[in-house]
Structure 1
């Protein structure tokens, strides 16, 4: 049984829980699921996820889901934004000068392009105007309820 402080070893698949994208997977630790669902990436190492229960290493909803699970048990849990990737924060959406952005980075100011901030945060361009660019530094799933299909493969004490 997975409990606080132990290392949990899980296979998981995260899916959008509601709206027009409900059921769409956004992440998985299982290569077969990634291939079947069309979300496979060559640069990714698909293997079970290991994390310390209660260690803040994964989103709260996934951490909470494994507590009390027994090895071999599977469950699907719905996780609201506050225990997943956070609520969408309008304060993390900024408008900056297009010239300034292009001068200080390799960015060509195209919608969807990733941008790094001076403080190390990563955002993406959501809107491009003639003179300004809007960049969103929220997590891409901020404000979204998700579901995790979780299978506990092992739980052990790390000595």
Structure 2
């Protein structure tokens, strides 16, 4: 793909749309390297800690929080994700991961609704170290702004 659809660019920078994942920092870094800034990114491990749930990988968190199963095929995980065209299996794998993240987020956010953390920190942006003027932040993170 030579160009990124404007609809995807707009989605990534829309602060009203929370982008969730486990270890989402790496995704944010990769997108930043491709000149695609990401606003409102949230690592689900942060929300899990607020609920007392053990922070873990996506498949384990999906099973513990939602009760579902994610298939993790090592051959598929190690396949060429930078190919010009993804295989149907890669597309399905990515869609399953995205759907699992959304389901986990919904389940965990219901558990922390009394905490009110999202009212105060609704603007969660990935801040690359080179653009970060907060000296107290030790590493590139999806930081609460």
Q: Give the structure with the larger helix fraction.
A: 2
TM-score, length-scaled by structure 2: 0.25
Q: Which has the higher contact order (CA 8 A, sep 6+)?
A: 1
TM-score (norm 1): 0.24
Bigger Rg over Cα? 1
